[in-house]
Amino acid sequence: MVKIECSNCSEEAVIEIKRKGKNYCPDHYRKYFLNQVGKVLDKYEIEGKIAVAISGGKDSSTCAEALTHFERIDVRSFYINLGIGEYSKKSRGSAKEVSDELGLDLDIIDLERRYGRSVPEINEEEGGSPCALCGMIKRYLTNRYAFENGFDYVATGHNLSDEVSSTFHNLANVYLTPFRGLEPVLNEKKNYKLAERVKPLYFLKDKETLIYAQTNDISFYHGECPLSQDSPTDELKNWLHELDSEKPGIMRSFAKSFMRLEDRMEKDQRELKKCENCGYATATRICRFCRVVRNFP
């Protein structure tokens, strides 16, 4: 096999960034990757105490590690235990492992201990898509944790592949409400108890995050949730990756276009309300979290 050299030195390259026409060795790729994260932090003037939602997977673990390289960021980590048997046990172990490696104290939010039921139990009663239910619960608890503990931001590991593929899926289903939050930063709304959120990996693709995690020995769990269904965005994501390989940079262009669309569509968004039970933001009288969990501390 022919050795491909780094564009910046004679070391062997581990990744090709087609849109830049460059190959990078581990050291120079680390600089490139952190530079992409830094651009998000600089553009939106992100600093202060940031809570990182670590699931144990590659994206959130990499997000936490990357943020530790910026002196103006005080990183804290937390994990939401959804009670999904062995999967949650191993995910929690991975979240603890990467937090220990980074010198972070990991807070645990235990759904069953705090609200009386696990995700499998709630899903058995509610039916429907377990992934949609799980996502709703994680969003609620993530926001509540950040808001109640006074963090400046809560960071998630959503990357470019996630953002563009999910937005295409929503467009295909004429589901426009999620256009709120397409930018790397979602501003806080204290009146509705919405914490400020940031996606540091916003301009980095799945493979780019994976290569960074592997070449920097970041611990993460490879397992898949036993409740997960074939994601409707997986096929879209594969197509987008193929398209981006043929037309390098097009996924970033899509993301930037969606960000502009969000600004124009802001007037059409449904007016937020405060949940009559918990007081957090909702589009309905009682938020869905309170409706499905039904055990309110």
Residue 59 known to bind ligand: yes
Residue 134 known to bind ligand: no
3-state class (DSSP) for residue 87: helix
CA–CA dist 241, 164 (Å, integer): 10
Beta bridge partner(s), residue 76: 51
- The tokens describing 165, both together, are 């593929």
pLDDT at residue 230 greater than cutoff 80? no
Residue 268 known to bind ligand: no
pLDDT band at residue 1 under the 50/70/90 scheme: low
The answer to whether 221 and 56 have CB atoms below 8 angstroms apart is: yes
Residue 152 known to bind ligand: no
The answer to whether 249 and 204 have CB atoms below 8 angstroms apart is: no
Extract long-range pairs of 84-92: CB within 8 Å, 24+ residues apart. Answer: 84/118, 84/119, 84/120, 84/225, 84/226, 84/227, 85/120, 85/226, 87/223, 87/224, 87/225, 87/226, 90/56, 90/221, 90/223, 91/55, 91/56, 91/57, 91/221, 91/223, 92/56
Residue 225 known to bind ligand: no
Across the chain, mean pLDDT equals 90
Residue 157 known to bind ligand: yes
Residue 63 known to bind ligand: no
Residue 222 known to bind ligand: no
CA–CA dist 97, 103 (Å, integer): 10
Which structural domains are found in the chain, ordered by start?
26-293 (3.40.50.620)
The pLDDT, as a whole number, for residue 191 is: 86
The pLDDT, as a whole number, for residue 175 is: 67
The pLDDT, as a whole number, for residue 38 is: 98
Residue 234 known to bind ligand: no
DSSP assignment of 207-242: HHHHHHHHHTT--------TT----HHHHHHHHHHH
Residue 131 known to bind ligand: no
- The tokens describing 110, both together, are 């235990």
